[in-house]
Structure 1
C-alpha cells in the first residue's frame, strides 16, 4: 500500500520539565563568617507548548516523535541566584489540531488560529530558596523547597481538517472531479472506490476576489460510523466544516435513500453534525433531461437547497458557487 504524506493522528509520550530545587545556603566569605541565608530559588521546568502554523496541513513532521522530554529547571544557588528555567519545547501543528490525553480521551487543547500558542504540559515550578524563609524569630532557616514535578503521560494529536465546505458522498460520487474543476487542487481521480484516501483541500475563487475553502473527503460507506471503510478516520474531518455539500450522482438507484444513508452515518457518529447547513448537488446531471430532473426533485427533501451540476460539462458550477457563498454568509 502506498504510504501517504497525510498523517492526521499521532500518539506520543510527553514529559514536561521538573522545577529546580531551591538552595539552602548561608553567606560565607572572608568578611562574613556567619552571614544570613542567601539560597536562591530553583528555575521553572520547561513547558511543552503547541503553536498553530497555517503553513502545515498534516502531522507528518511529528511522525517520528515518539518521546518529547522537556528540560528540567536548574537548582538555585548562593547569593540568591535563581536557577535557569528549562528551555520550552514548541511543537508546531496545523490549524484544526486537537490534543488529547490518550488514557482519558479528554481534550486538553485545540489549535484553530495561526500563531496561537497553548501551554499543553506545564513545567513544574521551581522551589524557593532558604532566603525566602527568614523571619525575625528564625534568622537562619535550614529549609528550602524542592522543585515541583513536571507532567507526563501518553498524549495524542488529532487533526480535523478546517474547511468552509466539506464534500460528502459515497465513493465515486464525483467529489474529486468537482474539486479539480472548481479549484486548483489536483486530487487523484479514477473509476473505483476510495480513490481519495486522504482529505484534499482547494480554494474556490469567487467573485470580486473572494474565496472559500472546500475539502474533498474520503467517501462514506454504510456503516462508516461503526468504523467500516475509512470510518472514523474520515468522519472526524467533517466536524469542522461549516457547510456539508452532499454529492449524489444522477445515476443513483434511489437518490433520497442515498442521501438518508449519508445523513444517518453522520448522526450515528456525532448528532451535532445535523446542525450544520446542508446543500445537495446532483452530480453527472448532463445525462438527465428536464423530465428526469423533475422526478429527482420530488425525491429530495424540500427544506434542503439542491442543484444539478456536471463537472465534466462545466454545467451549474457557477450557480453552485453562488449557493455555497450565500449559505456561508447568510448569518453575517
Structure 2
C-alpha cells in the first residue's frame, strides 16, 4: 500500500431544490389557492475520521466529491426531498485547510469525529409561502440556493504515542518489528524505510500503544534533505520519542547530536518532547565500547540510557517498562492540567 499524506481535492455541496408554483384544482374547492411546496435542501459534504485508514491514498485517484441536490417542491404544499449528505472517510489525524486562503478548517484526531466542510444550499420557497391578503394567487416561487464549492488541502499527521527516531540504519524498522506484529522492509542500506511504519505494541494490561518508525532523518532534514522534511511533521503528535543510536556506527555521539540538532531546527516543541535514548545493536559491540558510548551520551542526556539489541531482543523488556511509565506520567500531567482549567 502506498503511503500518501497530502492531497488536494474539490468538494461541492448539493443545490437546494426549486420551489413549486401550482394551485389546488379540487372539485369541491372553488377557490383552491396556491399550493406549491418548498424545495428540499441540498446535501452537505461531511468528513469523518475512521481508524481503518492510515493513508490519503484514496484521494490520489478521486479529486472531486459532490453531495446530492435537493428535489423540487411538490403540489399540495409538499416539501421536496432533501439531498443526501456525502460522508467522506479520512484517517484519524487528518488536517483540513482551505486551499485558496490557507485557513485551517479542522483537525480530525478522534475516531468517528465529523466536520462539515461544505453546507448544502437551502430549498426555494413555493408559491404557497407568498399567499397574502393582497396577493391571493401568487404565480412565482424561489429557486433553490446553490451549494458551496471549496478547494481543500488535506494533510495527514500520524497519531502515535511513541515515535522512533534515529539516523538511517539505526535499526528502527527492526525494533518496531520486534516489538509489534508490523513487518516493514528491512535491509542493510540507507533509506530502506521510505514511509512511516506503524506498529501496535501491547502493554501488560492488554491496552495497545501505537509506535511509529519515522524514516529518513539525516543532517539537514528540516530543510528538505533526505526524507526527513516530509516526515518530521509525523513526530509532532507523538507523546514520547524513542531515540535509537547505532552502537556500531563510526561515531554514535555525532549521530545522536545530528538528530537532536534537526529536532531543534524543526521547532514545534519537538526538542522538548520526553525522549528515551537507546543504543541499538549491543550484540555486535564489545562491552568496553558500549560503556564509553554511554559515558559520553550522559553529557547530553539526563535520563537512563538503554543498551538493547532489536535482533536478539536484549534489553527490550526494560526499555518498554520505561516507555509505559513515561506515557503514564505524561497522561497524568495532561489530566492535572485539564482539571485546573
User: What is the TM-score of this pair, normalised by structure 1?
Assistant: 0.89
* Partner secondary structure for residue 128 of structure 2: helix
Q: Which has the higher mean CA deviation after the structures are superposed, 280-289 or 319-328?
A: 280-289
1:29 pairs with 2:42 = no
Cα distance in 2 for partners of 1:103, 1:268 equals 28
Contact 1:18 1:149 in 2 (8 A): yes
Q: Which has the higher mean CA deviation after the structures are superposed, 39-48 or 113-122?
A: 113-122
**Cα distance per residue 1:42-93 (max 9 Å; x no partner):** 1111111222221222223333112212221112122111111112222222
1:173 pairs with 2:185 = no
Corresponding residue of 1:233: 230
Contact 1:23 1:41 in 2 (8 A): yes
Match of 1:269 among 266, 271, 274: 266
Contact 1:40 1:76 in 2 (8 A): yes
**Cα distance per residue 1:221-253 (max 9 Å; x no partner):** 222222222243212221221111111111344
Contact 1:16 1:69 in 2 (8 A): yes
**Cα distance per residue 1:133-184 (max 9 Å; x no partner):** 4344544445533322211132232222111111111111110111111111
Taking structure 1 as reference, are residues 174 and 65 closer, same or farther at Cα in structure 2, changes over 3 Å only?
A: same
Cα distance in 2 for partners of 1:85, 1:18 equals 10
**Cα distance per residue 1:25-52 (max 9 Å; x no partner):** 3333344454333221111111112222
Cα distance in 1 for partners of 2:247, 2:115 equals 47
Cα distance in 2 for partners of 1:128, 1:270 equals 54
| Paired residue total | 329
Unpaired runs of at least 5, structure 1? none
Corresponding residue of 2:336: none
Corresponding residue of 2:297: 299
Q: CA RMSD, aligned part only?
A: 2.3
Report how far residue 312 of structure 1 moved. Answer: 2.0
* Partner secondary structure for residue 41 of structure 1: coil
**Cα distance per residue 1:173-207 (max 9 Å; x no partner):** 11011111111111111111110111111121232
**Cα distance per residue 1:250-284 (max 9 Å; x no partner):** 13444444333323323433423334221111112
Contact 2:9 2:59 in 1 (8 A): no
1:153 pairs with 2:150 = yes
1:82-121 correspondence runs (5 A): 82-121=79-118
1:1-332 correspondence runs (5 A): 4-142=1-139, 144-286=141-283, 287-290=285-288, 292-300=290-298, 301-330=300-329, 331-332=331-332
Cα distance in 2 for partners of 1:85, 1:267 equals 52
Unpaired runs of at least 5, structure 2? 333-341
Taking structure 1 as reference, are residues 141 and 276 closer, same or farther at Cα in structure 2, changes over 3 Å only?
A: farther
Cα distance in 1 for partners of 2:42, 2:148 equals 10
Report how far residue 114 of structure 1 moved. Answer: 2.6
* Partner secondary structure for residue 237 of structure 1: helix
